[in-house]
Chains A and B, each alone.
Chain A
Amino acid sequence: MLLPKFDFHEPTTVAEACQIIAEYREKAGILAGGTDLLVAMKKKQISPQHLVSIGRIDELRKLDSSSGMLKIGACFTVADTAASEVIGKKWGALRAGARALGSPQIRNLATIGGNLVSASSAADLPGSLISYGARVVLTSTSKTRVVPLDQFFLGSRRTEIGYDEILTEIQIDEPPPYSGAGYISLGIRASQDIKIVNVASFITLDSSGKTIRNARIVLGCVGPTHLRAASAEKLLIGEGPSEAVFAKAAEAAIRDSAPRGARYSRASAGYKRAMVGELTRRTLGIAWKEALE
């Protein structure tokens, strides 16, 4: 299966990369890990005339948690995300997502930035990142802007990113004390699978552990983008954490979701709804346990 022809650019700095895409605009494609982009090009879904590889830009591969905030370079790989101790310790739901993604070979190539820019609601990293309140940094020759991740996705395969912008960094604040998060994605097989439903839940308790102060629940594969389960979140805030409350939140999350049926998707709408409920309940349980640790 041949790749369409293109000119290849391999800048070594972000500034240089921005200049190249500012020049070619919609004719340019940005190559990070290539696990989505090259497949789409082989299928002739897209054929950029200029491919700008950002894989050799060192500043995009870093992981920095020195400022109380986690800053992840866009080209940090999914395998490194899954293996990172810092991420595992404070952002366990992100690690769970990274571990669930693709296969070992895919995780070695795929990047965290690429998983976001691909803008698929079946992707494994956006859910937990949104639940942690992550932001993305978009850089162009003229400006840098920071966009909350839950405003970044505009639709299936559509994002806030302009033709002249590169997603350079993901920022996540350290979760407040008594917080926890869980992520589960359900596929037909354990590996190399596009997911049927994925759910990320994040909660913050008060210092007594008796009241939920904040909750964010993010549902994947049940709409064109990841969705916040707004009524489930509202229901949880102010309540005491318990299996019974989580079961009610799960019911609310089912109502918040809008899956399409099997004609368009990998599972029937009814099955997806049921799984939204179950995964919401389970991820809230994981989040609760982590919040008490």
Chain B
Amino acid sequence: MKKIIRLTVNNEEHQLAVEPNQTLLDMLRDQLGLTGAKKGCEMGECGACTVIMDGITVNSCLVLAMQANGKRITTIEGLETEQGLHPIQKAFIEKGAIQCGFCTSGMILSAKVLLDKNPKPTEEEIRSALSGNLCRCTGYQKIVEAVQSVSEDDVGPARQES
């Protein structure tokens, strides 16, 4: 039996009727049309479905839509602003960190949570923060370089104001 849930996705409030066995991933993709979160393994192994839920990254294929009731979700679609793409998105393009793109949304969201907490991570911290996101194409090096370039650019709020 469907139940009504309320949640905030990319700063927009939604009220949706969901089935108990519907995952957050399916809800985002099928009901909200947010296809940035990808369906890879659906078993919690690849990280392609990564979204940010109340400030932490989760595999949305392993979260029931009903468990997301009342939560704040950020998907890759929520990163762009009027000023354009998010600095991490730009860095991925500039550094050639995207090939097929299937892992990219998850990678960028994992990187965002890392950089929000730790604006100057070491290479090891970057690799460990991205260790739940698999990439079949890039060999990871360019992804790590892209994240490093953002941390070097100093895009923290203090700089933006000055």
Q: Which residues of A contact B (CB under 8 A)?
A: 1-8, 10, 31, 34-35, 38-39, 42, 51, 53, 55, 79, 102-106, 108-109, 190-192
Contact = CB atoms under 8 A, between A and B. Distances in A.
Interface stretch (B44-52, B87-95, B144-152): B44-52
B62 A8 contact: no
Given A35-B62, A109-B62, A104 B131 contact: yes
Contacts of B43: 1, 39, 42
B21 A109 contact: no
B110 interface: yes
A105 B57 contact: yes
Interface stretch (B6-14, B63-71, B75-83): B63-71
A106 B132 contact: yes
Interface in B20-47: 20-23, 42-45, 47
A34 B50 CA distance: 15
A5 B22 CA distance: 9
13 contacts: A5-B21, A8-B64, A31-B67, A42-B43, A102-B132, A103-B47, A104-B57, A104-B129, A108-B58, A109-B59, A109-B62, A191-B128, A191-B132
A5 B132 contact: no
Contacts of A190: 128, 131
Contacts of B155: none
Given A1-B43, A192-B132, A53 B57 contact: no
Nearest to A189: B131
Interface string B115-130: 0000000000000110
Interface of B: 1, 3, 19-23, 42-45, 47, 50, 56-59, 62-64, 66-67, 110, 128-129, 131-134
Contacts of A1: 42-43
Given A104-B57, A105-B44, A8 B66 contact: yes
Nearest to B45: A192
B21 A6 contact: yes
Contacts of A192: 45, 131-132, 134
Nearest to A3: B21
A105 B42 contact: no
B69 to A, nearest CB: 8
Contacts of B1: 7
A128 B62 CA distance: 27
